[in-house]
Structure 1
């Protein structure tokens, strides 16, 4: 075969994003500013005002001070010591990225703190926070943990004050989806939202999540990596046009014309005055996502605050037929790239020369052959051997590992196509596997198939079906410490609420939801296994009042790692039917050796 060469330019960066040697001088600068301001401790969140999974470089305050670059975390910097609070996904990453002689890492819940926060604020001291970077719920939680010990008060952001080389805020191009991609006009979406506001007796809603604003206005941008967001705020009244608040540099005549008759546009600096102008009105605010500054400004103006979940999240998660059609097409495009990649991997992996970075580069190269692929939907998790056991592993030039023949390889990746968003994980065979590895792989597969085959009454939540994926691992006394599935957006965030499959998702599933289905198993220091498809919730044919799933991912599952004695006849039938669908959908789109490989990889077992 002709050897495939890969362009070095990829969406993903493999550079080290942190340098622990920066921690000491930056902590010193911050503490000097704290002393001048009469402050005893400062909260530094990973989140920005928009709560995104990805933040622009200008908002990466936690990484700037501590070096930690994970997607969730919170630091508390006191006068003489500092703590970094991370969840279980980052207990290995955080100590490796920060200076542990100056910063103590604590494991806690996602995005929160535990009672150890008292270690960093002296008795009777003052802990400050930026009110644009924390929600009311977060501030209440910290205040409760410090009750009777220290005072918690808002303050101007001291990190910004010392960050002399802070990058500029992002200003990217803005595009609008036509009806052929959105399936519903912005005017109709706004009208539906305004009916919801009327039902809640609300005069307006303040939207702070970019995915809600982008979906509502059929708008997309490139302000952050991996997700086509436009960062901004919006106020939607119960009657009349919404107002979109953006960085001045984003407001162009073209944008104003595109939104004519749909929304007004104003500079983000005027948002505070607009909130103050809602005095006497009933205003809906999401206490879990909106900055506390929004609620405080409204409260001071005399507005009645209605605390309720962002009313766009539910409708956004229920994809219409046009959006679902786009998602299916995105998975056909992705299926072609994955067939090429998996064929290439099978040829090269047994030779023992592939590196984790080389594998990411190859996969991105195959995806980029499709001109509608505009980004990765997240940094690819490319874990060879023991690195596959690190659930949120990110390969860098420093950690890059050569995949040895016979090791298990875990690749979790996704792409943003103009038609939709993908997310897929495959555990790959490189020439041998132990009986234990096959056992664990098969139990993970059985769990994934159990979710795929599930039928359940309307009103059922992801928390209720999560056990279906874990049962086969539990039978052997093992499990995995992450959710089984998350919501996926339509050319938006690869992780979106309010639905998912884990113990924390209690919102009922509805037809049109798109979810991941990704059980796993991880043996620290040895290997990791995960198998992931995306699934669509749909009405169960011939079973009124029930729902089931349609699998839309179209890439083979490696059968060489299966212990077939553990599969039931029904599970084998599901796997064969899935592979028959992959062959029918992707086979006509590939040629030559790739087509021959795909035919063999999807053959019935």
Structure 2
């Protein structure tokens, strides 16, 4: 299978590891050490060789960090992981810290009231992150000091960096050649008077060069750094073992390949002006440029927005991938409904869905499937293991959040299902979550608005009942790339204006710890829209085409417009996907897409 059901590394050795780290800190005069989840590329998903936070603490979530002092160790997690962190870390050693409510500076000021020295690896923290922390620590007597990574120094059985095979992403799917994409970036640099830009995000580099890789499970990127100059020439820093003769020929003469260890030396040879993105470039990158006397200019990664604005070919590839993925999902949902409650488990469900996705042409899953029944559904990023697997029982909810990687697109979908008669209290919450998802799907809005300007639309039905959820409403999604694509977000922290071609998730939710979780998620693409007065607006095209479980809906809570949207959505699913579904699922699909309005 793509997914395993092994338990995370666990707590067995964390005590000895923390003791070793503290001994090293004492030797080097460090009062605290930062241990991030991210790697040098600021990746959410990291190779085993970069999974320092998991190795040290046992916490396996995709976001968070730790701070270790001589007598305390805080693990900072957001609302998605507050249940999970307690299950995966030793409470005698680690204290969960609710973040961002409590930031690193707040915690450090409390545990180091007399001041102190905090060590951090300059390759694992961005310029903006480090400067923000320094500002918040001003006047505390606490200083940040770059150091050789102390976790690596005690990690004696650390895995080797990945050397996954790179492949060509066809122009027919990309909608542009690498030459055209390099020329686009070069023109932006020339217009800004900049001689080069440093690229540190592998998904951006892979997009720029029409490459896909296999270094990181679920994320088809080539782990690499790059420098692009104002002529469009690229220095690519990656292990040569990743590139076969066909890929080297594809890169052409304008792209030179160098080993990763030569990246820092190459930075020292640049004169500038050199653009870096302070939000993603490691501190070590800016330090190397500054030490060499180069003029450093901070600005957005020049690949980020072109990558986010999907080409017509990329959009069509995403639509095609979603049609095939819809067949796999519908087969899985029909399979679930055919099982007797108590007769199948979370792992059984994941295995069945993965099999259907493989038959639909998936080359990987886009993240480890979240399949949580009953109380496990309240763990926002739950990953079932042999140890946690539950039999799905009558009267429970089953939350199924999953996605596939296809040659032409990336999918991400969540459906919450009723197993038998659902809990009565869940109906109200489910309907409010659905209302929020529909409201965002139907939204028309002026150009220039950012994710933070529209997110409240999806939360308002929950807010009216004094309810909320502790994750963003939407994240960006790559085209046959990473399922989480920055800098796009629909959240209160996003200031990036939405533009046509950008793809987001639309996934409000609600969670009752120890009982159940609810989330409904479709992918949506920004498209032009027109108001009744001819005003140019933006709206959303829904890409995901899978029925939404109507058994959990309180129809009386929905407006006529909401029922009309749901019925039109289901009619579209039946029309577009119905002819593609195999015979064994057709009756299920017909029932699942029957109009709600007719029953109200």
Sort the TM-score into its range (normalised by shorter chain). Answer: over 0.9
Of residues 205, 221, 244, the one that matches 1:229 is: 221
Give the stretch that moved more between structures: 40-49 or 96-105.
Answer: 96-105
Q: Which of 251, 256, 274 in structure 1 is aligned with 2:266?
A: 274
CA distance in 1, matches of 2:290, 2:141: 27
Q: Is the 8 A contact 1:74 1:113 kept in 2?
A: no
- For 2:71, which of 61, 69, 80 is the aligned residue? 80
Contact 1:353 1:402 in 2 (8 A): yes
CA distance in 2, matches of 1:434, 1:240: 59
Distance, in Å, in 1 between the alignment partners of 2:102 and 2:350 is 28
Greater alpha carbon shift after TM alignment, 44-53 vs 538-547: 538-547
1:580 aligns with 2:566: no
Q: Separation in 2 of the partners of 1:453 and 1:277?
A: 52
Structure 1 residue aligned with 2:283: 292
1:185 to 160, 177, 193: 177
Once residues 146 and 467 of structure 1 are traced to their aligned partners in structure 2, the CA distance between those partners, rounded to angstroms, is 32
Distance in 2, matches of 1:604 and 1:368, equals: 31
Q: Which residue number corresponds to residue 431 of structure 1?
A: 420
**Secondary structure at the residue paired with 2:63?**
coil
Tell me which moved more, 25-34 or 250-259: 250-259
- Residues 1:12 and 2:18 aligned together: no
CA distance in 2 between counterparts of 1:324 and 1:304 reads 38
For residues 4-83 of structure 1, the aligned pairs below 5 Å read 10-83=1-74
- Aligned residue in 1 for 2:545: 554
Alignment coverage as a number of residue pairs: 593
Q: Note if contact 2:444-2:538 (Cα within 8 Å) is conserved in structure 1.
A: yes
State the Cα RMSD in Å.
Answer: 1.8
Residue matched to 1:512: 501
Provide the TM-score with structure 1 as the length reference.
0.94
The alpha-carbon deviation at position 112 of structure 1 amounts to 5.7
> Deviations for 1:322-379, whole angstroms, at most 9, x for unmatched residues?
001100011111111011111111111x432221111111111111112x31111111
Structure 1 residue 533 and structure 2 residue 510: aligned? no
1:366 aligns with 2:376: no
After superposing the two structures, state which structure 1 stretch, 356-365 or 244-253, moved more: 244-253
Equivalence map 1:165-184=2 (5 Å): 165-184=157-176
Structure 1 segments unaligned to the other structure (5+ residues): 1-9
1:116 match: 107
User: CA 1:269–1:407 in 2, change beyond 3 Å: closer, same or farther?
Assistant: same
Give SS of 2:104's match: coil
Q: Is the 8 A contact 1:207 1:310 kept in 2?
A: yes
1:6 is matched with none
Structure 1 residue 122: deviation in Å?
A: 7.5
1:385 and 1:409 in contact (8 A); partners too: yes
Secondary structure of 1:206's partner? strand
| Aligned ranges 1:353-392 → 2 under 5 Å | 353-370=343-360, 372-392=361-381
Structure 1 pair 331/463, CA: closer, same or farther in 2 (3 Å)? same
For the residue of structure 1 that corresponds to 2:574, the secondary structure is: helix
| Separation (CA, whole Å) in 1 of partners of 2:591 and 2:369 | 26
1:599 match: 590
Q: Deviations over 1:399-418 (max 9, x none)?
A: 21121112111111111111
For 1:351-500, list aligned pairs within 5 A.
351-370=341-360, 372-500=361-489
Cα distance in 2 for residues equivalent to 1:110 and 1:493: 28
Deviates more, 1:129-138 or 1:471-480: 471-480
Aligned to 1:341: 332
Change (3 A) 1:575 1:240: closer
Contact 2:79 2:471 in 1 (8 A): no
Q: Per-residue deviation at 1:88?
A: 2.3
Distance 1:110 1:207 in 2: 31
Deviations 1:219-271 (A, max 9, x none): 11011111101101000001241111112433554443221134111111111
Classify 1:160/1:111 alpha carbon distance in 2 versus 1 (closer, same or farther; 3 Å): farther
Work out whether residues 256 and 264 of structure 1, in 8 Å CA contact, stay in contact via their aligned partners in 2.
no
1:185 shift after superposition: 0.8
1:122-152 deviation per Cα after TM superposition (whole angstroms, max 9, x unaligned): 7453221111111122222333344442332
Asked if the contact 1:87/1:111 (under 8 Å) is kept, the reply is no
Contact 1:284 1:306 in 2 (8 A): yes
Q: 1:564 to 1:128 in 2, by over 3 A?
A: same
Q: What is the CA–CA distance in structure 2 between the aligned matches of 1:254 and 1:156, rounded to whole Å?
A: 38
- Equivalent in the alignment of 2:556: 565
Question: In the aligned structure 1, how far is the partner of 2:464 from the partner of 2:431?
Answer: 13
> Contact between 2:109 and 2:115, CA under 8 Å: does it hold in 1?
no
How much does 1:111 deviate? 11
Task: Decide whether the 8 Å contact of 2:328 with 2:353 is kept in 1.
Answer: yes
State the shift of 1:451 in Å: 1.0
Q: Deviations over 1:84-128 (max 9, x none)?
A: 222222222223222221222211229962411245557453221
Identify which range, 497-506 or 221-230, moves more after superposition: 497-506
| Cα contact 1:72–1:111 (8 A) shared by 2 | no
Distance 2:319 2:280 in 1: 30
Aligned with 1:494: secondary structure? Answer: coil
Q: Which residue of 1 aligns with 2:305?
A: 314
Residue 76 of structure 2 aligns to a residue in which SS? strand
The answer on whether the counterparts of 1:86 and 1:110 sit within 8 Å (CA) in structure 2 is no
Counterparts of 1:434 and 1:84, CA distance in 2: 34
Contact 1:221 1:228 in 2 (8 A): yes
1:98 matched to 2:89? The reply is yes
